Amino acid sequence: MDDKLLCRCFMVTKGDVIRAVENGAASVNDVERQTRLGFSCHACRETARKFIMEKLSERDEKELKKHKSTDK
């Protein structure tokens, strides 16, 4: 798992974000609520939000491909 730190205030890693997304987080705010990422100094927010959006998008694309392949 990726242990690169995204949020120093709450020690949230990329792996924590990936886990939240894999466990069904519905949005950036949902990931932030689950991990507490960005709830203090906000220094991490811009970078972290880009990463979260990237992971949500990757998950959604995978889901879409899965649905398309089962629709045939």
Q: Interface with ligand FES by CB under 6 A: which residues?
A: 7-9, 37-44
7 or 25: CB nearest ligand FES: 7
8 or 62: CB nearest ligand FES: 8
Which residue is it, tokens 């906000």? Answer: 42
Query: Cβ 23 to ligand FES, closest distance in Å?
Result: 20
Helices within 1-72 (DSSP H only): 14-22, 28-35, 45-71
Query: Cβ 43 to ligand FES, closest distance in Å?
Result: 5
* Distance separating alpha carbons of residues 31 and 54, to the nearest angstrom: 12
For residue 11, list its beta bridge partners: none
